[in-house]
Amino acid sequence: MSVRKLKPITPGQRFRVVNGFDAITTDKPEKSLIAPIKKSGGRNSQGKMTMRHIGGGHKKRYRVIDFKRDKAGIPAEVKSIEYDPNRTAFIALLNYQDGEKRYIIAQNGLQVGQNVVSSKESIAPEVGNAMPLSLIPLGTIISCVELRPGQGAIMARSAGSFAQLMARDGKFASIKLPSGETRLILVTCMATIGVVSNSDHQLLVGGKAGRTRWLGRRSRTRPVAMNPVDHPMGGGEGRASGGHPRSRNGIPAKGYRTRSKKNPTNKYIVERRKK
């Protein structure tokens, strides 16, 4: 993983920091594993805007990712490490011994030609291998973690993120998540060994507003610059600070807890995430 700082030959490149893409091995995706994406522009089925600051952006095709890793016991060779425009992490193309091809989230250190396997039985805890939490050694760094058995990975999937297996007690395992939260998860849930790839993603700098527009994000007006009719933080004489930080519909930000005290899954949270 590396980043490159561009020479300031234009104003937009003066502060630009781009990905080196040294881990990428091909720029052509597997045709059988791509699907079309239709943009919504933040509008619902009636054509009304329900999400602000969404629209435009470069046309993309979805890469079908195997989050479940349910092809058990069949080794697969890593054919390529590829860029995915739909996520911050890189993806790996696996070629199974029976001829099937699948994409997975690539882990740091995953190399072309390496063999990985997903199994419900005890296997070596090597980078890229997937197995239930009941078989992973305590203290192991993991990623792409299921919350419910068979659901598919939904936690620790973004670039550079990872979780850690802290303990096991009966049918539950204690997992320290990227947010800092410690949570109980069933030991039958699957997880992948290793840290998610592209850990330098957080160092990237767009350099200009147009690059944000390429990503499909439209410009956003600061609430303190609005009028009182438009936002709770608007109005005031001169450059008023805007009062307590809150959203457009009045929900406080920066520390206000929105999680329900009656949420039935609260009992599985051992330690709350840090503020």
* pLDDT at 1 (0 to 100): 62
How far is residue 145's CA from residue 156's CA, in Å, rounded to a whole number? 6
* pLDDT at 34 (0 to 100): 97
* pLDDT at 275 (0 to 100): 66
pLDDT mean values, one per 10 residues, the chain (275 residues): 91 94 94 96 96 96 96 95 96 95 96 95 92 96 96 96 96 96 96 96 95 96 94 91 91 91 95 83
How far is residue 177's CA from residue 89's CA, in Å, rounded to a whole number? 17
Cβ-contact 154, 122 below 8 angstroms: no
Which CATH fold would you assign to the domain 3-201? OB fold (Dihydrolipoamide Acetyltransferase, E2P) (2.40.50)
Parse the chain into domains and list their residue ranges.
3-201, 221-275
Residue carrying structure tokens 């943009």: 39
* pLDDT at 79 (0 to 100): 97
Tokens of 165: 């297996």
Tokens of 9: 């030959």
The total of other beta-carbon atoms located within 10 Å of residue 261's CB is: 6
How far is residue 54's CA from residue 213's CA, in Å, rounded to a whole number? 9
Give CATH for domain 221-275. 4.10.950.10
* pLDDT at 98 (0 to 100): 92
Cβ-contact 98, 72 below 8 angstroms: no
